[in-house]
Amino acid sequence: MAMEENEQSAMAHVVFIPYAMTSHITPLVHIARLLAFHGLKVTIIAPQHNALLFQSSVDRDCLFSGSNITVRTIQFPSEEIGLPVGIENFIASPSMEIVGKVHYGFLLLQKPMEQIIRELNPNCIISDMFFPWTVDLAEELQIPRFSFQPATFIHQCAWVFIRELKLYENVASDSESFLIPGLPLDINMKVSEIEDFLKGETEFRKTVDDVLQAEIRSHGIIHNTCSELEPGFAQLYEKARGVKGWHIGPLALFINNYEAQISNNSCCDPWKGYGDCFDWLENQQSNSVLFVCFGSMIRFSDDQLEEMAVGLKAANCPTIWVFKEQDKNEEDGFSSKRFKEMKGENMFIIEGWAPQVLILKHGAIGGFLTHCGWNSILESLAVGVPLITWPLFSDNFYTDKLLEKLGLAIGIGAHVWNPGFILSCPPLSGEKIELAVKRLMNNSEESRNIRENAKLMAKKLKIATEEGGSSHSQLMGLIDEIKRCAFKNVGILPS
């Protein structure tokens, strides 16, 4: 029987197609690795330089666990779109113009990807949301297509009501708040916080409409979230969208559990290259350090960086502040004028990439100032670190509202949505930044309550990803559904 079950599992072949953002690539590859670990055959299709981001993890899986997972690379049309070889990801894109070219490059990959998928003849396609064409291909091949949404249920539910009811038309000004009806939590939004493509015709609206229409035709939509973080939203989401939503997060916790089973990393130095940061943290008190990081894409103006420096200094809190390459390399910009004077006993600067997960795990970290990128939120809450939320673009503002309602964060008071990661909103004042930091880090009754809520949420998230937990049950259900569809197509009933 065991051999028969293994043979049936091997017949379920799933193709994964990640997009051009690391924040999308990482969780989707996590899903691919988990499905392979549980006995499905997996192929990930990606351009060569994006594949380098996860190839070592896939190779390790094959070596230590025998997972049937492979990476199929595809030539990115760099010359055709006018980009240097190697720029296949938005992280490498310092301007919206280059982002547009990278996106166009992925549009040109549709036909080659379709050809590869037809050759592979899989039983299922799991693609990033930004590949709506995969639903047409799945229907042609008569196999299920699942769309991957790397963010929350709440923003999708809110989109439905905002688009249908045009709630923003009933307020007097952009700064006036309105309640989004029908949600499990009372969520109030300002018109200035809502995406422009929800309020009118924009260049991006057609893309959003294509994504949403493809999702409705999909077999299901996979989210890196869980019912503990979004109580009642999964049920509302399925009712509002008319399609099954699978919540299998936090995916990073699943991967941590999985990697602990397949390999012994005790001989590795996780802080290799960041020993100075670790030494500095070891000299700080428990829960005393603020970690400041805005992901890999946000581009602040020099004026905003200056206000941030003023606010963080005035808050007088030990801080690790991560600067991106684009921030520190400007000859006449903020970094050249202020970099050296910012460094000191109370401020540790990391230039470029930072080992965010490892830093958040350290006992000295007591808060995380973030733009509300969902992967970062999950990484922080998984280890019980409370948040200061500074929403800026994308779905950030819905996440900001959710976290404040759950008592997990202090909002910094930003209320202007930006159409891209190069910010166009007025600078937030140093005084507002200082106030938010002091509210979370000063050990008041408010901050103690938020810290306790974050610790409790960490326990809930851990339970959710363990056997019998809400997300674990959803993951197993997703695997069973993929197998069921595969067996049905070949005339075999699963045991």
Q: Which residues are catalytic?
A: 24, 128
| Contact by Cβ (8 Å): 153, 41 | no
| Contact by Cβ (8 Å): 138, 145 | yes
Alpha helices (runs of H) in 177-245, residue ranges in sequence order: 196-199, 205-216, 233-241
Question: Residue 270 half-sphere exposure, CB side, CA atoms within 13 Å?
Answer: 11
Q: By CB neighbour count within 10 A (0-12 exposed, 13-18 middle, 19+ buried), where does 260 fall?
A: exposed
User: Which amino acid, one-letter code, is at 450?
Assistant: I
| Contact by Cβ (8 Å): 312, 293 | no
CB atoms within 10 A of CB 446: 13
**Token pair recorded at residue 30:** 């996590």
| Contact by Cβ (8 Å): 413, 311 | no
CA distances from 468 to 111, 122, 381, 430, 464 (A): 41, 29, 20, 46, 8
User: Which amino acid, one-letter code, is at 288?
Assistant: S
What is the SS3 assignment for 246?
strand
Contacts of 200 (CB under 8 A, 6+ apart): none
